[in-house]
A and B are shown apart, each in its own frame.
Chain A
Amino acid sequence: MNPVIQVTHLTKDFKDVKAVNDLSFSVEAGQVYGFLGQNGAGKSTTIRMLLTLIKQTSGNIEIFGLNLQKHRNEILRQVGAIIERPDLYKYLTALENLRIFAAMSGVKVSEKKLMDQLAMVGLAERAHSKVKTYSQGMKQRLGIATALVHDPKLIILDEPTNGLDPQGIADIRNLILHLSKEMNKTLLISSHLLSEMELIADSMIIIDKGKKVVEGKVNELFDPAETVVELKTTDDSATYEKLQQSNLKKFVQGKRNDCLLLKLHRDEIPAVMKELVQMDIGVLSFYSKHSLEDYFLSLTAHPHVETLKN
């Protein structure tokens, strides 16, 4: 089956900055696809290219198997999106905004459907209030309603949980899962809340400085049982040399200014600890991290890490 999104060798140059550099990835139907990267990595630029807000310098984008340049309107009829903040018309009510963007999406949406959309995001009671009276969280929810109002097949969300409280975040998570698993929508989500992405993403891509760092299924790239250990000792340089000479060498990832990085399975921790003691290494702290955030940082944090793997 054709991927819903197929990006091949995508590049975007802005004067003297290469914002996106030969990026290729694909998104399968029904997936929740995580789009991760530091600030300035090129996520927003890529998303804008997918939505034809920015023209690529080179490369190819296909959505639903169609070339985006040639079949733009046909494709966008089936796409809903929030890009950065969901800015809407502040002087209009939520219902008026929703009506406008539904009409612009090329679909006829009944008043009942519009109200149902607002109810879905918890804004039914404030449907007739002007958006300028809304909190940031309410605006975010309205933005999501706007992205979904025309029942698109592909949904692109840039920071969908911005400004939401924990309950709101949980609600969005459930909504995304519902859209993906029960309604077979495809979602591409860019988010900084890596703990949330860990819970919902099927596949992901991590980009850095416009380039792909890693792409694949979440459960293949990242094993929660795998940990990254930050090891602080009395003499990190000497310890680093000692470890390179020992059978703990295979766990060593590199060193940072303030500590050493080891990558090992959770079950291996006791044995490694014992070995360190036997080697007479003065351990000040042994901090194990085993989250997507840690994985992400391990791949993208710079310039202090001397050696990176994968």
Chain B
Amino acid sequence: MMKKSLLLSLVLLTVFIVNAQTAEEIIQKVKTKLEKVNDYEAKGKMKTNVVFIKAPIANVKVFYKKPNKLRINNESGISFIPKGSVNINLNNIFINTSGFDMIDMGKESKTDLRIIKLLPKDENAEVVLSTLYIDETLSLIKKAKTTTKENGTYELEMSYGKYADFGLADKVIFIFNTKDYKLPKGITFDYDDGSKREQNPDKLKDKKGKVEISYSSYIINKGVSDSVFK
């Protein structure tokens, strides 16, 4: 009976402590994790899902170097890499010497993730607003919606595995904006094979593309040359 009471108390205390974390504390823990990584070279497979592109799965290498350099390279083939792919790097959200205003939105009921909005104090910052969905227990960002000045709004969904300690995801889904696809007239006479074109008006209006990278390995903090990012 005593043991059970003690256990219950400990659990309640933990919950209390966890609940008691402020937004600042959570963000700090996340940042601390991310700051462990100075650079990495990762191998993975990339799936491109854009309504007007049919693409095979690509073998890619992703290079990162602090504070905000990120490059996705197709090993040997060709891939359409979305503009703003630098935002796959979560550190990009935190690059701001002037600090943030934080808005704690509490927990999202169905996922139990803590929602925190970051508004950079610097009016000239590229990132205008970030909404982070954080697993408090693990101090990992599971989802991020970032609005930028130049490139519109991005979404990131992360799932973590053996590299969670470094805040590095096993799988990243990156959702970005695309413009209407138009080919200059006279370039091609197409063959009309009668295949059903995308008829769903919602999908057509969507104008969102999705890139999904499944990482197989990371080489962390072994040094990455600047020439890779040129």
Indicate whether A and B are direct neighbours in the complex (CB within 8 Å): no
